[in-house]
Amino acid sequence: MTNDEELGYINCWIPSFDLYFSAKSDELAKKKSQAIMFAFIDHYLGNRTKGVKQLALELHKLGFKANNDQNTMANLVRNKVMKAKFSNSPSNIPFEFTSRNEMNQEHELELEA
């Protein structure tokens, strides 16, 4: 979500992660949000033995739910790589973002076992 600023910057908020940042354009905002998401994922997947488990638990802690959540989480906690789609809907939108431009981005990640 973005909130236009007077000084030529766009204030951005990634709701599911409650992260804020600024960018000079919509294009740069998209690139920054993608880089932030990949950095988050890379942080957990850097550990090959526990990475999948840690990533799944952190996503779940942030409120993300997977399709067939119980089964998916049981497999991921055992570090079993499988196809899973997580989604999250934020409930409390900060006041400054109530009249915002929304940029929806979906990221896919494939892991090899």
Angle subtended at Cα 75 by Cα 54 and Cα 36, rounded to the nearest 5 degrees: 35
pLDDT of the residue at 88: 77
Q: Please answer whether residues 26 and 12 qualify as being in contact, where contact means their C-beta atoms are separated by less than 8 angstroms.
A: no
CA distance 45 to 92: 29
Task: Name the DSSP letter for residue 43.
Answer: H
Q: pTM surpassing 0.85?
A: no
User: How many residues are given for the chain?
Assistant: 113
74 pLDDT band (50/70/90 cuts)? Answer: very high
CA distance 80 to 62: 21
Q: Is the pLDDT of residue 59 over 60?
A: yes
Chain segment 39-48, per-residue pLDDT in tens: 888 888 887 7
Give the residue extent of every domain in the chain: 2-88
Angle among Cα 57, 105, 59 to the nearest 5 degrees reads: 5
Evaluate if residue 100 carries a pLDDT over 70: no
